Structure 1
Amino acid sequence: MLRMRREHHIGPLRLAARAGVAASTAHRILQRHGLPPLTTLDRATGEPIRRYERSQPGELIHIDVKKLGRIPDGGGHKALGRAAGRKNKNGTGYAFLHTALDDHSRLAYTENLPDEKAATCAAFLRRAAAWFAARGVTVERVLTDNAWSYSKNTWRQTCHDLGISPRWTRPWRPQTNGKVERFHRTLLDEWAYQRPYTSEAERQAAFPDWLDWYNYHRPHTGISGHTPASRITNLSGQHS
């Protein structure tokens, strides 16, 4: 079983099926031999992922885009059921959720934009930098993946204009931008798919309150149960 784990990078459920034992047994064997959960390992190499955190707000801002299917008027399958939902698509298209997330505090700024073109991404960066500046955070570096929009001169010039140093994730190592990807998973679970909205407008109207809750009130397990705003000097005290 240990050999299968090392060679195939699979978890206790799949190991149990291959070895013909209970999943609980496979889990105990992995624990007994000190093998960590797969979520803590690099998928390509099987090596532990090195976790890091910048010491001050603004030292590094993670930026990413989450593509989200829009809800048609009248509701999608969550509101109407799968059969009716499929009939009610009506070419609704996608929302592109652009997020800038501070590495140290996890404070997040998100906009719903029509695309992820180079000019759109660059304009988002300008607004995100201004948003953080209004909260006393000076953006020093930004980390993105290697998507086309972030490799164009438009992005590089905007970073230069703002005095921001651009950084990119290493090829095949997207986990280095994992904090913002984890935020997007939280966003989907706790806002986008949290209840059966009857329209995209209804869902978007609920977003500002959710983001406010995330930044100012929601305990974040990645920062010992503190809120993102509590890690920005005086910010939490300025908010009711």
Structure 2
Amino acid sequence: MVRKIVHLRWKQRLGPIAIGDKLGMPASTVHAVLVRCRINRLTHIDRATGEPIRRYEHERPGDLIHVDVKKLGRVPDGGGWRYVGRQQGGKNRSATVERTGAAKNKWHNPLIGTCYLHTVIDDHSRVAYVEAHDDETKETATQVLKNATAWFAQRGVTVRRVLSDNGSCYRSHLWRDTCTELGITPKKTRPYRPQTNGKIERFHRTLAEGWAFKKFYNSESARLAALPGWIHEYNHHRPHSAIGKAAPITRLDNLAGHHT
């Protein structure tokens, strides 16, 4: 009976009342079983597989860093459609393309390009490092890894492992050789399993809501100028619910007095 209750919860996302109706048992009994199996809340279940979420956290800063690339459409001069509307946003895009001489797509629509945010986050502390670039090539990705490793080293953190998805820049020989040069063990997620890299996926959502689309920007340069300040706020002041509502920087050793 427990297996039937769990099966209906995982596969059909039913609640205690619906499950009790199907199995002819009280909803309170079904709820007690769901609590015992730790799947009484849908937030405890992986959306893709229906299995209970397995969370992990490495013991020390630098034991594992997560890396990924977040792609954002550039903001045209005068603002994007989210704040000025689609009609005015389209005019702003066209004017920006005319000014910069950017290319158009095969439907002759103006293209203002993509901003590639190379993001790095420490598994234990959740301290983040971000660089904005014009591409996601292997050369750019490896340079970001070198810069991030040096940035963490200045804060007393030695990077030992790096976890990435299976993007081409992370599968390259250059990435492998750079990791060997830095003394870092490269790790890959399972294909089509972004949940394994969930910390950085969640950071991307926070990044989009807290910085990229938080307010009106009248140009791409204005948005990028606001990025360092937001990263500082995230690392030094924003309470992180997964680490006891403390700021991520508090989990690092304050060897150089960077976060007094």
Fold match by TM threshold 0.5: yes
* Structure 1 gap segments, 5+ residues each: 20-27
1:85 corresponds to: 89
Matching residue within 224, 227, 231 for 2:244: 224
Alignment-derived partner of residue 67 in structure 1: 71
Q: Is the 8 A contact 2:72 2:114 kept in 1?
A: yes
Match of 1:25 in 2: none
Moved more, 167-176 or 133-142: 167-176
Distance 1:235 1:213 in 2: 20
Please, which moves more after superposition, 191-200 or 168-177? Answer: 168-177
Residues 107-129 of structure 1: per-residue CA shift (max 9 Å, x gap) = 00000011111111111111111
Scaled by the length of structure 2, what TM-score is found? Answer: 0.80
Structure 1 length normalisation: TM-score?
0.86
Task: Please point out which of 214, 222, 227 is paired with 1:202.
Answer: 222
> Distance in 1 between the 2:255 and 2:30 partners?
44
Give the 3-state SS of the residue equivalent to 2:149 in structure 1: helix
* Matched-pair contact (CA < 8 Å) for 1:79–1:198: no
Contact 1:216 1:236 in 2 (8 A): no
Are 1:117 and 2:129 an aligned pair?
A: no
Task: Name the CA distance, whole Å, in 2 between partners of 1:29 and 1:188.
Answer: 42
Shift of 1:85: 1.1
Match of 1:141 in 2: 161
The amino acid that maps onto 1:41 is: I
4+ residue runs over 6 A deviation: none
SS of 1:137's partner is coil
**1:139 partner letter:** V
Aligned to 1:187: 207
**Residues of 1 paired with 2:77 and 2:31: CA distance?**
49
State the secondary structure of the residue aligned to 1:128. helix
CA 1:124/1:78 → structure 2, altered by over 3 Å: closer, same or farther? same
Instruction: Tell me which residue corresponds to 1:101.
Output: 121
Asked if 1 retains the 8 angstrom alpha-carbon contact of 2:155 and 2:258, the reply is: no
Report the secondary structure of 2:225's partner residue: helix
Code of the residue aligned with 2:88 in structure 1: it is A
Larger-Rg structure: 2
Greater mean deviation of Cα atoms: 110-119 or 40-49: 40-49
Residue segments in structure 2 that go unaligned for 5+ positions in a row: 20-27, 95-110
Is this contact kept in 1: 2:74–2:114, CA < 8 A?
Answer: yes
Match of 2:56 among 38, 48, 52: 52
Q: Does the residue aligned with 1:88 lie in a helix, a strand or coil?
A: helix
Map residues 165-180 of structure 1 onto 2, 5 A cutoff: 165-180=185-200
Q: Residue 162 of structure 1 is aligned with which of 156, 169, 182?
A: 182
Distance change >3 Å, CA 79–CA 238, structure 1 → 2:
same
1:151 paired to 2:171: yes
Equivalent residues, number = 229
CA distance in 2, matches of 1:92, 1:85: 12
